[in-house]
Structure 1
């Protein structure tokens, strides 16, 4: 379980394909505090640490993960948003994030607004994921508040701290990002679907 509060931007240092799997090595200031078998969110994707070497650690993404997230398009030198699993009893500063990406979205607009930035994203609404105005959304692992909620798009407002300390500063029009929709909203949507089918 995660909170969507990014701890560090790691840098992809190596990528190695092995059959359908991708081994991703990352340099991070968090590495000395990590251990093998620990869970870490990478752009919002929960992955297990399988190796550690000085300031670099490695995780493995399987085909299912690569198909449903932006990890398959990573390049050496890319910045990745990192968050360790939350500690039970700690403050929940963001919102409840599972580290299970629902789908990707594409950045369609970036607007600077006198000290902040408004990012707009489009996503495939046929997968039945929804946003609500002022609800929570996780973009590349970052807990954010939805504005301008529409059937297949939404926007988020980014303050300078978030812009400087996450990979939002790397985004351009066309950038593909990972989305995790609010878990409570997903359960409500599922219950509504079940009730409609029952009728």
Structure 2
């Protein structure tokens, strides 16, 4: 489990594609990798991955083809900046929101507007996650826990403070570029429950 609070921005060092998997090597600070071991989890741009090799300055993860093509990893290039967060320890503080590290889909930035000391980012609202993003609710974008500031039928917006702009890769994001998105897990369960109840009611009425 993760919190959506990015610990640092790493850099893609190497991408090795094999027939059934992809190995991705990412640089990170000695501090972040302290006591980090093979088999441990790391969220890279919001996607939970398991390390298969660790050094003092980088680590390598194994990515399955489905994950590779479902996320922005398919567009990543060497030297790209990525958000990094280690899994939250059992005694850690949950200061963001519950993030599983399982990206739902990707979406693109449609507008970037500076407003006073913040920057408002507006994204396309993919139809497959409609109803899972609500104003004042939580969403993870490239692994960053953010509060949704506005929602329309076709888009949603978040507001970034200077700290988030300077300490994550969203500060470099350009209009038209894609990001990984994970909606709030609580919203998913509520949506599923409502859908189940609705289907039960329709089945009941259909049988009368």
Specify the TM-score bucket, using the shorter chain as the normaliser: over 0.9
Q: What's 2:199 paired with?
A: 197
- Equivalenced residue count is 199
Partner-residue secondary structure (3-state), 1:194: helix
5+ long unaligned stretches in structure 1 = none
Aligned counterpart for 1:165 among listed residues 167, 182, 197:
167
Contact 1:48/1:59 (<8 A) preserved:
yes
Q: What's 2:188 paired with?
A: 186
Q: What's 1:2 paired with?
A: 2
Q: What's 1:86 paired with?
A: 88
Contact 1:129/1:181 (<8 A) preserved:
no
TM-score by length of 2: 0.92
Deviations 1:83-129 (Å, cap 9, x if unpaired)?
A: 00001122111001100101111000000112110001103213545
Deviations 1:31-54 (Å, cap 9, x if unpaired)?
A: 344110000101000000110133
Contact 1:42/1:80 (<8 A) preserved:
yes
CA distance in 1, matches of 2:49, 2:153: 30
CA distance in 2, matches of 1:135, 1:126: 18
Partner-residue secondary structure (3-state), 2:66: helix
Q: What's 2:44 paired with?
A: 42
Q: What's 1:149 paired with?
A: 151
1:135 aligns with 2:130: no
1:71 aligns with 2:73: yes
Q: What's 2:115 paired with?
A: 113
5+ long unaligned stretches in structure 2 = 202-208
Partner-residue secondary structure (3-state), 1:149: strand
Partner-residue secondary structure (3-state), 2:193: helix
